[in-house]
Chain A
Amino acid sequence: MSLSMVYWFQHKGGFMAEFKSKIDRQALREIADKGQAIYDRLVKEKGLEEKYFGLYIVINVDTGEYVLGKTILEASDLAKEKFPQSRRFHAQVGVPTYA
Protein backbone atom coordinates (compact mmCIF):
# COMPACT_ATOMS: atom_id res chain seq x y z
CA MET A 1 0.00 0.00 0.00
CA SER A 2 1.44 3.38 -0.96
CA LEU A 3 1.88 6.20 1.53
CA SER A 4 -0.81 8.21 -0.23
CA MET A 5 -3.26 5.34 0.18
CA VAL A 6 -2.40 5.05 3.88
CA TYR A 7 -3.06 8.80 4.23
CA TRP A 8 -6.37 8.45 2.40
CA PHE A 9 -7.59 5.63 4.65
CA GLN A 10 -6.48 7.42 7.81
CA HIS A 11 -7.70 10.89 6.99
CA LYS A 12 -10.37 10.70 4.34
CA GLY A 13 -11.67 7.24 5.03
CA GLY A 14 -12.72 8.38 8.49
CA PHE A 15 -15.24 10.75 7.00
CA MET A 16 -16.62 7.95 4.86
CA ALA A 17 -17.12 5.65 7.84
CA GLU A 18 -20.56 4.08 7.76
CA PHE A 19 -23.01 5.27 10.38
CA LYS A 20 -24.15 2.50 12.69
CA SER A 21 -27.68 2.71 14.03
CA LYS A 22 -28.16 1.63 17.64
CA ILE A 23 -31.93 1.57 17.40
CA ASP A 24 -33.52 -1.86 17.47
CA ARG A 25 -36.64 -1.34 15.35
CA GLN A 26 -37.99 -4.79 16.15
CA ALA A 27 -37.76 -4.05 19.89
CA LEU A 28 -39.51 -0.70 19.38
CA ARG A 29 -42.30 -2.43 17.48
CA GLU A 30 -42.68 -5.04 20.22
CA ILE A 31 -42.96 -2.31 22.88
CA ALA A 32 -45.53 -0.47 20.75
CA ASP A 33 -47.59 -3.62 20.11
CA LYS A 34 -47.66 -4.57 23.80
CA GLY A 35 -48.34 -0.97 24.83
CA GLN A 36 -51.18 -0.60 22.36
CA ALA A 37 -52.78 -3.85 23.56
CA ILE A 38 -52.67 -2.62 27.18
CA TYR A 39 -54.01 0.79 26.10
CA ASP A 40 -56.91 -0.84 24.23
CA ARG A 41 -57.73 -2.93 27.30
CA LEU A 42 -57.74 0.20 29.50
CA VAL A 43 -60.11 1.91 27.06
CA LYS A 44 -62.47 -1.04 27.08
CA GLU A 45 -62.35 -1.98 30.75
CA LYS A 46 -61.71 1.34 32.50
CA GLY A 47 -63.17 3.92 30.14
CA LEU A 48 -59.76 5.55 29.75
CA GLU A 49 -60.71 7.85 26.88
CA GLU A 50 -63.95 9.06 28.48
CA LYS A 51 -62.23 9.87 31.76
CA TYR A 52 -58.83 11.13 30.67
CA PHE A 53 -59.13 12.38 27.09
CA GLY A 54 -56.15 14.56 26.10
CA LEU A 55 -53.86 13.56 28.97
CA TYR A 56 -50.53 11.87 28.25
CA ILE A 57 -50.10 8.24 29.26
CA VAL A 58 -46.95 6.18 29.75
CA ILE A 59 -47.37 2.41 30.08
CA ASN A 60 -44.88 -0.09 31.47
CA VAL A 61 -45.41 -2.78 28.86
CA ASP A 62 -44.08 -5.58 31.07
CA THR A 63 -46.29 -4.98 34.11
CA GLY A 64 -49.26 -3.07 32.69
CA GLU A 65 -48.72 -0.22 35.19
CA TYR A 66 -49.36 3.24 33.81
CA VAL A 67 -49.18 6.92 34.72
CA LEU A 68 -51.04 9.96 33.37
CA GLY A 69 -49.81 13.55 33.10
CA LYS A 70 -51.10 16.87 31.82
CA THR A 71 -47.98 17.27 29.68
CA ILE A 72 -45.64 14.83 27.94
CA LEU A 73 -42.79 15.62 30.32
CA GLU A 74 -44.97 15.39 33.42
CA ALA A 75 -46.11 11.91 32.39
CA SER A 76 -42.53 10.95 31.51
CA ASP A 77 -41.20 12.12 34.91
CA LEU A 78 -43.91 10.21 36.77
CA ALA A 79 -43.14 7.08 34.76
CA LYS A 80 -39.40 7.28 35.44
CA GLU A 81 -40.16 7.65 39.13
CA LYS A 82 -42.72 4.84 39.28
CA PHE A 83 -41.08 2.32 36.96
CA PRO A 84 -37.48 3.27 36.10
CA GLN A 85 -35.41 1.10 33.74
CA SER A 86 -38.57 -0.30 32.18
CA ARG A 87 -39.84 -0.68 28.63
CA ARG A 88 -42.30 2.17 28.16
CA PHE A 89 -44.98 3.03 25.63
CA HIS A 90 -46.03 6.70 25.27
CA ALA A 91 -49.31 8.04 23.89
CA GLN A 92 -51.85 10.80 24.27
CA VAL A 93 -55.22 9.51 25.46
CA GLY A 94 -57.71 9.54 22.59
CA VAL A 95 -55.37 11.42 20.23
CA PRO A 96 -53.08 9.62 17.77
CA THR A 97 -49.56 10.96 17.31
CA TYR A 98 -49.30 12.46 13.83
CA ALA A 99 -46.17 13.38 11.91
Chain B
Amino acid sequence: MLSQLMEGWIDEHGHPVMPVQLIGLEDPIVALIDTGFNRELIVYEEHSQQAQLVIESESVSVLLADGSQEEFLRTEGVIEWFGEPRRVDILVIPGQAPRKGRWQIGTQLLRDCRLEIDFRERSVKLSRHV
Protein backbone atom coordinates (compact mmCIF):
# COMPACT_ATOMS: atom_id res chain seq x y z
CA MET B 1 0.00 0.00 0.00
CA LEU B 2 1.34 3.41 -0.99
CA SER B 3 1.00 6.42 1.29
CA GLN B 4 0.63 9.86 -0.28
CA LEU B 5 1.20 13.13 1.54
CA MET B 6 0.22 16.78 1.12
CA GLU B 7 1.48 19.42 3.50
CA GLY B 8 0.13 22.72 4.74
CA TRP B 9 0.84 24.96 7.70
CA ILE B 10 -0.74 26.94 10.55
CA ASP B 11 -1.21 30.50 9.34
CA GLU B 12 -0.71 33.76 11.24
CA HIS B 13 -4.30 33.54 12.56
CA GLY B 14 -3.77 30.03 13.93
CA HIS B 15 -5.79 28.34 11.16
CA PRO B 16 -4.75 25.14 9.38
CA VAL B 17 -4.31 25.96 5.70
CA MET B 18 -3.14 24.28 2.53
CA PRO B 19 -2.46 25.51 -1.00
CA VAL B 20 -4.91 24.28 -3.64
CA GLN B 21 -4.22 24.41 -7.36
CA LEU B 22 -7.45 24.87 -9.33
CA ILE B 23 -6.92 23.91 -12.96
CA GLY B 24 -7.36 27.08 -15.02
CA LEU B 25 -5.61 29.36 -12.52
CA GLU B 26 -1.93 30.19 -12.77
CA ASP B 27 -1.06 29.84 -9.11
CA PRO B 28 -2.34 27.84 -6.15
CA ILE B 29 -4.62 29.62 -3.67
CA VAL B 30 -4.38 29.11 0.08
CA ALA B 31 -7.43 27.31 1.52
CA LEU B 32 -8.56 26.99 5.11
CA ILE B 33 -9.14 23.40 6.20
CA ASP B 34 -12.59 23.83 7.70
CA THR B 35 -13.95 20.72 9.41
CA GLY B 36 -17.20 22.62 10.02
CA PHE B 37 -17.85 22.74 6.27
CA ASN B 38 -19.38 19.50 5.00
CA ARG B 39 -19.03 19.75 1.21
CA GLU B 40 -15.79 19.83 -0.82
CA LEU B 41 -14.51 23.29 -1.72
CA ILE B 42 -15.52 26.97 -1.49
CA VAL B 43 -13.88 29.50 -3.81
CA TYR B 44 -14.44 33.16 -4.63
CA GLU B 45 -16.33 34.16 -7.76
CA GLU B 46 -13.33 36.16 -8.94
CA HIS B 47 -11.27 32.96 -9.11
CA SER B 48 -14.12 30.93 -10.64
CA GLN B 49 -14.29 33.53 -13.43
CA GLN B 50 -10.52 33.46 -13.93
CA ALA B 51 -10.56 29.66 -14.08
CA GLN B 52 -13.51 29.85 -16.49
CA LEU B 53 -15.62 27.41 -14.52
CA VAL B 54 -18.90 26.54 -16.19
CA ILE B 55 -21.69 28.32 -14.39
CA GLU B 56 -25.22 26.94 -14.53
CA SER B 57 -28.31 27.65 -12.43
CA GLU B 58 -27.41 25.48 -9.46
CA SER B 59 -28.04 26.52 -5.89
CA VAL B 60 -27.14 25.17 -2.44
CA SER B 61 -28.53 26.55 0.84
CA VAL B 62 -25.78 26.84 3.42
CA LEU B 63 -26.12 27.31 7.18
CA LEU B 64 -23.42 29.67 8.39
CA ALA B 65 -21.75 29.69 11.80
CA ASP B 66 -23.85 32.65 12.97
CA GLY B 67 -27.05 30.68 12.31
CA SER B 68 -27.99 32.58 9.17
CA GLN B 69 -28.70 30.88 5.86
CA GLU B 70 -27.23 31.86 2.53
CA GLU B 71 -27.55 30.55 -0.99
CA PHE B 72 -24.35 29.69 -2.83
CA LEU B 73 -23.86 29.09 -6.51
CA ARG B 74 -22.76 25.51 -7.12
CA THR B 75 -20.40 24.36 -9.86
CA GLU B 76 -17.59 21.90 -10.50
CA GLY B 77 -13.92 22.18 -11.28
CA VAL B 78 -10.71 20.20 -11.34
CA ILE B 79 -7.99 20.57 -8.71
CA GLU B 80 -4.59 18.99 -8.31
CA TRP B 81 -4.99 16.56 -5.41
CA PHE B 82 -2.09 14.39 -4.26
CA GLY B 83 -0.43 15.19 -7.58
CA GLU B 84 -3.37 14.06 -9.69
CA PRO B 85 -6.32 15.84 -11.25
CA ARG B 86 -9.53 15.42 -9.28
CA ARG B 87 -13.01 16.68 -10.20
CA VAL B 88 -14.58 18.45 -7.25
CA ASP B 89 -17.84 20.01 -6.14
CA ILE B 90 -17.39 23.76 -5.71
CA LEU B 91 -19.50 26.39 -3.96
CA VAL B 92 -18.88 29.94 -5.12
CA ILE B 93 -18.89 33.01 -2.87
CA PRO B 94 -20.20 35.92 -4.95
CA GLY B 95 -17.78 38.76 -5.58
CA GLN B 96 -14.14 39.60 -5.48
CA ALA B 97 -11.70 37.75 -3.26
CA PRO B 98 -10.74 39.85 -0.20
CA ARG B 99 -7.04 40.53 0.16
CA LYS B 100 -6.66 37.92 2.89
CA GLY B 101 -9.62 35.80 1.84
CA ARG B 102 -9.21 32.05 2.04
CA TRP B 103 -10.91 29.30 0.11
CA GLN B 104 -12.33 26.52 2.26
CA ILE B 105 -11.64 22.81 2.07
CA GLY B 106 -14.51 20.77 3.51
CA THR B 107 -14.88 17.34 5.01
CA GLN B 108 -16.21 15.72 1.84
CA LEU B 109 -12.91 16.45 0.12
CA LEU B 110 -11.09 14.88 3.08
CA ARG B 111 -13.27 11.80 3.32
CA ASP B 112 -10.59 9.28 2.31
CA CYS B 113 -7.75 11.10 4.08
CA ARG B 114 -6.04 11.30 7.44
CA LEU B 115 -5.57 14.87 8.68
CA GLU B 116 -2.87 15.64 11.24
CA ILE B 117 -2.65 19.15 12.71
CA ASP B 118 0.21 19.96 15.04
CA PHE B 119 -0.41 23.43 16.44
CA ARG B 120 2.82 23.37 18.45
CA GLU B 121 4.94 22.62 15.38
CA ARG B 122 2.60 24.68 13.13
CA SER B 123 2.40 21.81 10.69
CA VAL B 124 -0.48 20.28 8.74
CA LYS B 125 -0.27 16.89 7.07
CA LEU B 126 -2.88 15.28 4.87
CA SER B 127 -2.27 11.69 3.89
CA ARG B 128 -4.07 8.83 2.23
CA HIS B 129 -3.32 5.23 1.34
CA VAL B 130 -3.79 4.06 -2.22
**Which A residues are closer than 8 A to B by beta carbons?**
19, 21-23, 25, 27-29, 31-32, 35-36, 72-73, 76, 85-92, 95-99
A21 to chain B, nearest CB (A): 5
Which residues from B are CB-within-8-Å of A35? 59, 61
B58 at interface by CB-CB < 8 Å:
yes
Query: Quick check: is B37 within 8 A (CB to CB) of the other chain?
Result: yes
Interface size on B, residues (CB 8 A): 37
Measured CB to CB, the nearest residue on chain B to A30 is B59
A72 touches B40 (CB 8 A): yes
Residues of B within 8 A of A21 (CB): 45, 94-96
Q: Is B56 touching A88 in the complex (CB atoms < 8 A)?
A: yes
Do A95 and B94 touch across chains, with their CB atoms under 8 A apart?
no
Interchain CB contact under 8 A, A23 and B59: no
Q: Is the CB of A32 within 8 A of B61?
A: yes
